[in-house]
Amino acid sequence: MAMKPVDLIGRRQALIGLGGGALVAGCDSVLPGVGKAPRLYNLTPKSTFPEGLPPVDWQLLVETPYASASLNTARIGLMPEPTRFDYYALANWTDRAPLMVQGLVVESFENSGRIVAVGREAVGLKPDFVLKIEIREFQAEAYRDPTKHQPRVGLSVKLVEMPDRLIVAAATFERQTSAPPDVMTDIVQAWDDALGAVLKRLVNWTLEAGDAAWSARTRPRIRRSQPRRFRG
């Protein structure tokens, strides 16, 4: 999946260093309208899926993902140390991370061509299932290897059957990639690759789990599906 920077002028950022070319944010100015504006970056939805995915005739609502305060922002997160959270300088996402991820999840389901209807809360969808997402990891890590920045994406998801609001399946999807530490476009491209891998598995899993739950609606439910964890 190709990364789409909104601003394509130049590859290198004017960044505040943290040893070895690390790109950690500082404070250029406290006054509005003073200092350089950050470049904006966007990630892309998944567009290729296995041919064997089941087509489904139920509707899915994707809730706005939950994220901690450090991730619920348009700033691009970086952990220079295991216990320290910071942000890249002069580089932002085009929207707050939860809203950006929500939109990419919806687009990825649409791109699969396997679901009759999928949308956010605002579209007024009457869903058969609701997908609840928690963003647990959405930062790059710079402490594992000083020669690389490693974007990590981790989503915990629950598929909820409506109208009873019964959790029928749960899973965690995680992927980490790496990029050179001194070029922001390379870091965002690696981020896009990590998210793309997570989105693909998320769509596959949701369609299969939802299809199984939909087929079982007329049969007594013996037990709930156990949470599963996927790493790549």
Chain segment 202-231, per-residue pLDDT in tens:
999 999 999 999 988 755 544 555 556 666
Contact 41, 48 (CB under 8 A): no
User: Rounded mean pLDDT of 118-147?
Assistant: 92
Distance set, CA 57 to CA 62, 113, 115, 191, 220 (Å)? 16, 11, 6, 32, 21
**Residue 4: is its pLDDT beyond 70?**
no
What per-residue confidence (pLDDT) applies to 196? 98
SS3 of 100, please? helix
Going from N- to C-terminal start, the domains of the chain cover 4-26+58-217+226-230
Q: What is the CATH number of domain 4-26+58-217+226-230?
A: 3.40.50.10610
User: Rounded mean pLDDT of 55-63?
Assistant: 95
Distance (Å, whole) CA 97 – CA 95 = 6
Contact 155, 148 (CB under 8 A): no
User: Rounded mean pLDDT of 114-141?
Assistant: 93
